[in-house]
Amino acid sequence: MAGSPGSDGRCMRLSARRRGPSVLGAFLLAQALVSVPAAAQDPCAPPSGDTGFAEVRVNLSAGTFDHVLPFDVPARVCGTVPAGTTSITVQYAVSKTANLSLDSSCRLLAPPGAALQPPAPIPGRLDGTTFRVILPPLEADRYYAFCFQRRAKVPDDVAAKFRAKARDVLDRGFAQVSSGTLTEEDSRKLRGELYRRLLDVTGAAVAIVDGTVFDASPGQDELRGKFRDLVQKILTPQIRRNRIVEGNPGQAIPPLSERQHDFDEALKALRAPELADLFTRLDKNAVDDSTLQAMLASQNLTAARALVRADDDQLLLAAQGRGPGEAATSLTDPDQAAVMANHYDDDAAALGALVNLIRKVADAPPSSTLRTGLREDEVASLRRQIDPKGPLVRAGNLAFTLNGLAQDLQTNLIDRAAALDALADKVQIEAAGVEVVDGSTTGNFATSQNNYISADAGLLYPPQLKTAVTYIGVNFYFRPVNKDANLAQLGSFFGTFSRRFAATIGLTVQSVADGGSGTLQTRQDLFGSQALILGGGLRVTNSFRAGAGAIIFKQKDRNPLVSQYSVAASYYFSLSFDLNVAKAFQGGLGKLFGGGS
């Protein structure tokens, strides 16, 4: 966004003057009174009196200035920043073309070759949430874009919010680590992701993370440094968990799913007819045997009877450590692992109770109610079920093993989660110590593009006319000039020549005509009682000018017999004060000279 090309530093002076004490009457007095409370509330309200700076206000959110940028004078830029800001700096890019462009991250997009300057950013002075920064004199006829970089500590509430994100990053990041050791590459990826999430949460463009867990620069690796033990506390249970769930061919460890499949196959052996017949026979015998009734009604034998009668789907659920209606177990959730462990524990107890029952039946005397009605071949068949390598024992062993593995899985998941929590806490603390850098850029602002015109009033002396007269004139500079700028500070005399030299056109205030009182008239004024002056001048100081040129008047023909006057010129020297027309006329006629509002 370009600034208004018709304005320059003069406009600001006019504004300041309007705000200051004035004799313009009650209106301005009332305006001044009304403006006091507003100024008191506005931390960037310009101070009264001459500060020596052009006061400019910047809105970092909008990326705008409230004035066209002044040139040739240092500017004091004031703005507000969010609470928590610890420092602010500014750099700018300058171009003669209007295509100057900075993106929101302070990267120069155009024109090619443009660079931010000065190389060392200009520090601002921070007072609470108000900052002021002094810009060096800018050049006229240029386009400027500014990059304000704000540093701020990460607020505690933001760091707390970040903790949850960090834990998520760590959880998913470590899950990708396949070994028990965090490699340099693994660590670099994790720290990079943590850094990106930190920027997301803080909304910053950059964070100063030197020496922290977010630092991914070469040779810096706190995940493998000061946080190594915590990282190991995550990876060790993770590896154990992975070995349980995924197995490890190198150790001949099958995956959990394979063990569950084996268990399912073993449970199907429970549907042997001799087991169903056993329960049928025992139920009959128990009618007259309360002790047997109580035994069969025990929790474990009730569960065993259910397994014997279960269909394929029910056995599959049991093999997977699930109860009826339970969803598939999440192998990353310790609570679900605990539920699974409980189911396997129940199965192991049920199968153990069934083995004990069969052993009692097989060992019981034929006259016992346990054996009544059972043939010897049926007893032998039952004995095969409880053989150390028989299907019932195998199913019981698998249930016991799966119970242990499920408990182990739960423990590992809890340990890993606790270590993740601890590391996330540390990362939160690190985040709270980080300074984030927030870049704010302005649009493309132009300094004055108009040449300067000023008024001139002084005394001129044309030696040939032998009379000194006052004059008023208008000076035309060939470049924009800021009258507030101290010429001495802008460089050498020759270096500031273009700011000093102006062409002058004017009229004398007094007549240069002669004659009268009995003397012969030899010249007349060019216009009525005024002569025209055309010349040039150099400002010796900001307002004092020395000049020379030609004074144009009418001269009588040298032939005394001819009474005609013709236009003539004579050189002159002048001393004058360079006045700002716009200032003198307070924006009225000043527009004629200043060319802007």
Residues near another protein, by CB under 8 A: 179-181, 232, 236, 239-240, 243-244, 248, 250-254, 348, 352, 388-389, 393-394, 396-398, 400-401, 403-405, 407-408, 411
Distance of closest approach, residue 421 Cβ to another protein, in angstroms? 20
Shorter beta-carbon distance to another protein: residue 269 or 432: 269
Burial class (CB in 10 A: 0-12, 13-18, 19+), 304: buried
Could you tell me which residues come within 8 angstroms of residue 235 by beta carbon, excluding any fewer than 6 positions away? Answer: 174, 177, 179, 180, 181, 182
Distance of closest approach, residue 340 Cβ to another protein, in angstroms? 14
Distance of closest approach, residue 402 Cβ to another protein, in angstroms? 9
Distance of closest approach, residue 261 Cβ to another protein, in angstroms? 14
Shorter beta-carbon distance to another protein: residue 241 or 499: 241
Distance of closest approach, residue 232 Cβ to another protein, in angstroms? 6
Token output for 327: 């969803």
CA angle 44, 47, 53 (to 5 degrees): 90
Shorter beta-carbon distance to another protein: residue 319 or 434: 319
Q: Pairing state of beta strands 54-59 and 108-110?
A: unpaired
Closest by CA position to 243, among listed 86, 408, 381: 408
Backbone angles phi, psi at 527, to 5 degrees: -120, 115
Burial class (CB in 10 A: 0-12, 13-18, 19+), 591: middle
Token output for 62: 């909008």
Contact 344, 399 (CB under 8 A): yes
Distance of closest approach, residue 282 Cβ to another protein, in angstroms? 24
- Residue 167's Cβ-side half-sphere holds a number of Cα atoms within 13 Å equal to 17
Report CA dihedral (25, 29, 34, 35) to the nearest 10 degrees. Answer: 110
Shorter beta-carbon distance to another protein: residue 73 or 182: 182
Distance of closest approach, residue 401 Cβ to another protein, in angstroms? 4
Shorter beta-carbon distance to another protein: residue 405 or 532: 405
Shorter beta-carbon distance to another protein: residue 289 or 408: 408
Distance of closest approach, residue 359 Cβ to another protein, in angstroms? 14
Shorter beta-carbon distance to another protein: residue 418 or 592: 418
Continuous H helices in 310-390: 312-319, 334-363, 376-385
Measure the CA–CA gap between 545 and 551, rounded to whole angstroms.
17
Distance of closest approach, residue 405 Cβ to another protein, in angstroms? 7
Shorter beta-carbon distance to another protein: residue 253 or 422: 253
Distance of closest approach, residue 251 Cβ to another protein, in angstroms? 4
Q: Hey, is 118 helix, strand or coil?
A: strand
Ordered DSSP codes for 449-514? -S--EEEEEEEEE-TTTT--EEEEEEEEESS---TTS-GGGS--TTTTHHHHEEEEEEEESS----
Shorter beta-carbon distance to another protein: residue 94 or 338: 338
Ordered DSSP codes for 535-577? EEEEESSSSEEEEEEEEEEEEE-SSTT---EEEEEEEEEEEEE
Locus of tokens 């006052």:
470
Shorter beta-carbon distance to another protein: residue 9 or 237: 237
